[in-house]
């Protein structure tokens, strides 16, 4: 049986080398699928068809299986994120402290549902299951920064700042 | 590395620290760091330099009372300051050697009074990124003792003797589990640490992994020696980037010190650990699903037996324990099984870390001996329900647990007592609810969670949770009937009995426990179209439809 040669990189974008690095580190083993998808998402922000195809081919995982993994785990996204992302935690402690009001306020202001991005690509609205900052509930992540004890007004102010930019 | 070398390192750390007259510890855990504790630390370093005093400013893991953060503790006086801002740095440094700053001082004697720290013994005292700090507090001593003086059987005996039970929620006796893996045949075995803290409202494991990562690694290494494994995996949620970074640093440091790798401590014992990232699936906290995820597949559970102890990761015998379970191992080895056995209640030994959140004055992490009354945790340690509201229930065990009402507050916390009350110990989330929470809505919240998190493999869980959600939504909207309630109860037992894994089997618990203790709220929603907490807003809905 001829030795396996991984497929060529999809483009000369340097980020593919980082992705390839993760796979090489794991000896192109199938179990590296989730690890590699994490690298793709952290490098490119999301997973598109080309990326899934490339990873699946490189690791000799059926495309159906790779797609199955991508859609099974909430952390993976098939859509590019907006310029800014506000993630509102919907964990139990945040729910008890009224995170539903924060989510409703953001939905109303942005005119989108959680998981969507505004049409101009400026803001993505996400919800999280729990970010582990429960003692300061309700919690929001504004571009990854944890902000605790949030009010609807504070969320709207943040959204306003991003719109003005 | 030998025990003598370990002691030398500890001694040099003590000498180094001895050069300072004061130690100023700054909590850098998520709650404090989200309020600017890094800026505060920088300001303290600057103020200390300018003052000319000999001050060691140290970054530490979670000190506990997060609601008072950012926290600073000054040693050797053990003065705790709350809500400290960068602007307070100078007055704190100026007060060293004199009397403490009264406006910042916090009196949490009651909060700390009934706590016993085993798992959290180092939290707030060491820099989690410095292995030598950990070594200076008896770190890795247990591992080296085990490797040089104890047989694997002896280690398992000690753990069995301690009475330690799995801290991930199930409460399976740890010694028994270790014994099963040790007896399984095969030269390749794995040790896995379950750090997929999926329970919303729980953050103990995050805090331990971030604040004292070496404790987890040491526990895993001891376990590996006991069961005959040479390879370990820590499965961490991708939502915990700091924990991943701290563990990565800790693993590198441990390898550098020769505490991981080949021929540890001059023995034939080889062990190393890799980190695997979760990707946001609650079901991966279930052990067979977790194994599938480490293997790079969808996290769908498998029927047991075979148990992972016989056939786990890649079909090899695999030991899976939770973060907090591993964190208990080193102290048990150091202090003896009997020491641990003497703490706690009859069938639940030792201490338990709880994440106290919700409608309570002092939110944060607490560690208490098993058997302590719920009332003591909530009223004394937690400081009770604030803002003049009345306490209604405490939720334990996350989506697999239940709501415990006020009349059960004098029950002691143990695996069995919580189970009897219709909840579970779970990983340790404790969410306090007051009169502004609607228990029907709370049940609906948890069922919605289980519905979205159901992996879809078995029908009772996949379809059952969806139907339960629809019924609960109808009741919350004021359009539910008594027949709906009957159907809901019927579904609860079907989903509980017929689901494949723990997720489905425990999903009805929040509904069952609220039906048991707060049935009148369900009836009010149905018969009187009224939500006493004002959460469901039925009156408004009914008006719109009319």
Report d(CA B197, CA B323) in Å as an integer: 9
Q: Which residue of B has its CA nearest to A134?
A: B201
Cβ pair A130:B198 closer than 8 A: yes
Minimum Cα–Cα distance from B358: chain A residue: A93
Do B251 and B312 reside in the same domain of the chain? yes
Is-above-0.90 flag for pTM?
A: yes
Asked if residue B180 and residue B287 are part of one domain, the reply reads yes
From B193, B292, B178, select the one nearest B225 (Cα to Cα).
B178
- The Cα–Cα gap between B427 and B166 comes to 9
Task: Report pLDDT digits (tens) over B438-459.
Answer: 999 999 999 999 999 999 999 9
B334 falls within a domain: yes
Q: Residue A81's pLDDT is what?
A: 94
In a domain? residue B184 = yes
B233 and B357 together in one domain: no
Of B434, B463, B498, the last residue of a domain is: B434
Q: Is residue B209 situated within a structural domain?
A: yes
pLDDT in tens, A38-67: 999 999 999 999 999 999 999 999 999 999
Claim to verify: residue B266 and residue B320 sit in the same structural domain: yes
Say whether B281 and A131 touch across the interface (CB within 8 A). Answer: no
CA angle (A25, B282, A134) in 5-degree steps: 105
With the C-alpha atoms ordered A29, A32, A36, A39, is the resulting torsion angle positive or negative?
negative
pLDDT at residue B198, rounded to an integer: 86
Taking the CA of residue B371 and the nearest CA in chain A, the distance in Å comes to 24
Domain boundary among B341, B364, B383: B341
Residue of A89, A132, A140, A145 to mutate, testing the B interface (most B Cβ within 10 Å of its Cβ): A132
- How far are the Cα atoms of B9, B19, B59, B210, B406 from residue B130, in angstroms, in the given order? 12, 18, 10, 12, 44
Residue B289 and residue B227 in one domain:
yes
Q: Which of B199, B297, B433 sits opposite A69 (nearest CB)?
A: B297
Distance from CA of A105 to the nearest CA of B (A): 16
Residues B235 and B253 in one domain: yes
CATH number at residue B328: 3.40.50.11540
- Let me know if residue B1 belongs to a domain: no
User: Which of B362, B323, B406, B333 is CA-nearest to residue B114?
Assistant: B362
Identify the CATH number of the domain in which residue B423 sits.
3.10.20.600
Mutant choice from A69, A74, A134 vs B, greatest count of B C-beta within 10 A: A134
Cα A151 to Cα B360: distance, rounded to the nearest angstrom = 18
Picking from A34, A97, A145, the nearest residue to B293 by CB comes out as A34
Sequential pLDDT tens for chain B (546 residues): 889 999 999 999 999 999 999 999 999 999 999 999 999 999 999 999 999 999 999 999 999 999 998 999 999 989 999 999 999 999 999 999 999 999 999 888 888 989 999 999 999 999 999 999 999 999 999 999 999 999 999 999 999 999 999 998 889 999 999 999 999 998 899 999 999 998 899 999 999 999 999 999 999 999 999 999 999 999 999 999 999 999 999 999 999 999 999 999 889 999 999 999 999 999 999 999 999 999 999 999 999 999 999 999 999 999 999 999 999 999 999 999 999 999 999 999 999 999 999 999 999 999 999 999 999 999 999 999 999 999 999 999 999 999 999 999 999 999 999 999 999 998 899 999 999 999 999 999 999 999 999 999 999 999 999 999 999 999 999 999 999 999 999 999 999 999 999 999 999 999 999 999 999 999 999 999 999 999 998 876 665 554
Domain CATH for B471: 1.20.1440.230
Reported ipTM: the value is: 0.94
Domain membership of residue B129 (yes or no) is: no
In a domain, B132, yes or no: no
Do the Cβ atoms of B453 and B527 come closer than 8 Å? no
- Does the distance separating the beta carbons of B358 and A97 come in below 8 Å? yes
Residues B430 and B472 in one domain: no
The total of structural domains in chain B comes to 4
User: Least CB-CB distance to B30: which of A73, A129, A132?
Assistant: A132
């Amino acid at each position: 049986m001829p030795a396996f040669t991984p497929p060529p990189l999809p483009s000369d974008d340097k980020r593919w080398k980082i992705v390839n690095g993760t796979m090489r580190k794991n000896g192109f083993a199938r179990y590296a699928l989730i690890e590699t998808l994490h690298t793709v998402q952290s490098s490119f922000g999301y997973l598109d068809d080309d990326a899934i195809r490339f990873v699946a081919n490189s690791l000799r995982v059926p495309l159906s299986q790779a797609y199955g993994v991508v859609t099974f785990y909430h952390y993976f996204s098939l859509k590019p994120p907006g310029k800014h992302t506000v993630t509102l935690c919907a964990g139990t402690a945040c729910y008890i402290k009224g995170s539903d009001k924060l989510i409703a306020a953001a939905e109303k202001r942005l005119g989108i549902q959680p998981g969507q991005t505004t049409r101009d690509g400026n803001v993505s609205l996400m919800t999280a299951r729990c970010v582990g900052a429960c003692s300061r509930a309700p919690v929001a992540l504004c571009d990854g920064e944890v902000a605790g004890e949030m009010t609807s007004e504070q969320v709207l102010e943040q959204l306003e700042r991003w719109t003005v930019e | 590395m030998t025990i003598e070398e370990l002691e030398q390192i500890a001694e040099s750390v003590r000498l180094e620290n001895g050069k300072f007259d004061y130690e100023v510890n700054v909590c850098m855990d998520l709650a404090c760091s989200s309020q600017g504790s890094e800026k505060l630390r920088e300001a303290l370093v600057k103020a200390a330099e300018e003052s000319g005093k000999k001050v060691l400013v140290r970054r530490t893991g979670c000190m506990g009372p997060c609601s008072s953060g950012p926290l600073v503790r000054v040693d050797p006086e053990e003065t705790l300051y709350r809500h400290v801002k960068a602007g307070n740095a100078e007055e704190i440094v100026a007060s060293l050697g004199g009397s403490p700053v009264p406006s910042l001082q916090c009196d949490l004697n009651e909060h700390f009074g009934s706590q016993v720290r085993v798992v959290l013994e180092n939290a707030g005292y060491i820099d989690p990124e410095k292995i030598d700090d950990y070594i200076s507090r008896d770190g890795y001593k247990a591992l080296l003792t085990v490797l040089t003086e104890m047989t694997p059987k002896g280690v398992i005996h000690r753990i069995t003797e301690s009475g330690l039970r799995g801290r991930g929620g199930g409460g399976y006796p740890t010694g028994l589990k270790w014994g099963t893996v040790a007896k399984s045949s095969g030269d390749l075995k794995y040790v896995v640490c379950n750090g997929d803290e999926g329970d919303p409202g729980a953050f103990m494991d995050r805090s331990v992994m971030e604040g004292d990562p070496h404790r987890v690694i040491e526990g895993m290494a001891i376990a590996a020696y006991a069961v005959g494994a040479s390879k370990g995996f820590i499965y961490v949620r991708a939502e915990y980037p700091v924990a991943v970074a701290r563990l990565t640093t800790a693993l590198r440091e441990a390898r550098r010190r020769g505490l991981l790798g080949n021929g540890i401590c001059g023995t034939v014992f080889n062990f190393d650990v890799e980190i695997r990232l979760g990707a946001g699936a609650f079901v991966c906290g279930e052990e067979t699903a977790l194994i599938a995820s480490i293997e790079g597949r969808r996290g769908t559970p498998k029927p047991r037996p075979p148990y992972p102890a016989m056939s786990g990761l890649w079909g090899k015998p695999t030991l899976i324990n939770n973060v907090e379970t591993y964190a208990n191992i080193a102290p048990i080895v150091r202090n003896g099984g009997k020491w641990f056995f003497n703490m706690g209640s009859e069938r639940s030994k030792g201490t338990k870390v709880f994440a106290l959140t919700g409608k309570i004055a002092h939110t944060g992490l607490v560690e208490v001996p098993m058997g302590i009354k719920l009332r003591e945790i909530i009223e004394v340690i937690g400081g009770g329900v604030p803002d003049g509201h009345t306490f209604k229930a405490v939720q334990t065990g996350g989506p697999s647990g239940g709501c415990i009402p006020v009349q059960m507050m004098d029950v002691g916390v143990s695996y069995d007592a919580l189970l009897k009350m219709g909840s579970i110990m779970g990983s340790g989330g404790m969410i306090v609810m007051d009169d502004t929470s609607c228990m029907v809505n709370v049940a609906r919240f948890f069922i919605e969670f289980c519905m979205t998190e159901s992996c879809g493999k078995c029908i009772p869980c996949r379809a059952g949770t969806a139907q339960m959600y629809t019924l609960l939504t109808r009741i919350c909207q004021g359009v539910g009937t008594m027949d709906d309630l009957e159907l809901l109860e019927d579904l609860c037992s079907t989903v509980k009995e017929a689901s494949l894994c723990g997720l489905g089997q425990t999903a009805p618990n929040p509904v069952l426990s609220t039906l048991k203790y707060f049935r009148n709220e369900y009836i009010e929603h149905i018969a009187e179209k009224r939500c006493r907490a004002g959460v469901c807003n039925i009156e408004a809905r009914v008006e719109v439809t009319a």
